[in-house]
Amino acid sequence: MSEVNQLKEFINSPLYIRGKKAANRIWLAPMARLGNIAFRELVLSYGGCGLLFSEMVSAKSLPSGEGRYDGMRWSETELPILVCQIFGDDPIKMAYAANLAERKGFFGIDINFGCAMSIVKRKGYGAALLEKPKLAEQIVESVRNSITAPLSIKFRDGIDGNVQKSVDMAKRFEDAGADFLTYHPRNSRDIRTHRPKWENISKIKEAVSIPVFGNGDVFRAEECLKMFTLTGCDGIVIGRWALARPWIFSVLSGTGGPIPPEKAAMSYVKLLQKYFDQPHCLQKFKQWMHYFSANFVFGHRLRSRLSLCDSFEAVIPLLTDFFAKNPEESEQVQTALMR
């Protein structure tokens, strides 16, 4: 069997977690502001994605309903394969929010211990909690005791990048009741200045008995295969590459092929209009275009022109004009996305 077929066979093998089935081993990573309901629907329209994660939502805002406009918009059709990601530093509030989300019908709950954005860390959330292992463990225990659905943890290395601390955290998470882990082998100070240390994923995998998913700089089938073979991970979550090419899950799983970029861009325009008002449409499209434009040699020009748009109505003729000129596709997409 060829390596490509081996990869597809592994990707397409289901994973059962607390009696629930994830159809395959390649999932959409949780992404604040970018993994919104419109983008998730775009990904699902192409197929091949086994599980989705919501945008991260504050445990404080979810019960009040404010989270409905801050990462917590969903459709009934995606709920069976959608994991709700929450963040916060209060075990009781986190448990309450998780229980509320479970009652909405989500596949499972994910706790964010991986966000390295300064605004999040300054408040003591996300990756900042890795420096408070006892509190992080209490949060997991509290959430576990409040739900019966699958519970996952998204985390990365701590401030100093000491992998042994990450191993210890993984064990704590498992002991506290986590069902699977998603691990990004970069420290919380390093956004993208260095390549992730994939070899560290294998150390996490060896330390626990629950499934471990790898995350970080998977851009092509070759890298997907390398991560599987190098680390022994149980699956992979993809973020930036999915933003650039939302059809990547169908390609890697063998259920479909590449989609013309123009078609994908126009589809996303319609989906954003379906779910968001004008200001939010424009904001979200510009954020997404930062990644999607990496597909083209002169994608930066498209971004520059978009930055001048002050209404979403101006986006469509701009895209029409850009694609009418048959823009040259870039061979440096991966390099651009690593910046």
Q: Please give the Cα distance from 142 to 229 (Å, whole number).
A: 35
Q: Please give the Cα distance from 329 to 258 (Å, whole number).
A: 13
Q: Please give the Cα distance from 61 to 42 (Å, whole number).
A: 26
Q: How far from each other are the two terminal CA atoms of the chain, in whole angstroms?
A: 36
Which residues make beta-bridge pairs with 287?
A: none
From 49, 84, 115, 281, active-site residue: 115
CA dihedral 40, 216, 149, 44 (to 10 degrees): 20
Give the strand pairing for 235-238 and 52-53. Answer: unpaired
Q: What is the DSSP string of 71-121?
A: T----TTTGGGEEEEEE-S-HHHHHHHHHHHHHHT-SEEEEEE----HHHH
CA distances from 34 to 129, 152, 328 (A): 23, 20, 25
SS3 244: helix
Q: Which two tokens stand for residue 261?
A: 């970029």
Q: Say which amino acid occupies 18.
A: R
Q: Please give the Cα distance from 314 to 127 (Å, whole number).
A: 38
Radius of gyration of the chain (CA): 19
Phi-psi region of 22 (alpha: psi -120 to 50; beta: other; left: phi over 0): beta
Local structure of residue 246 (DSSP, 8 states): T
Nearest to 51 by CA among 81, 21, 30, 31: 81
Q: What is the DSSP string of 147-169?
A: --S-EEEEEEE-TT--HHHHHHH
Examine the residue annotation and report whether 281 is marked as an active-site residue of this protein. no
Local structure of residue 328 (DSSP, 8 states): P
Residues marked active site are found at: 115
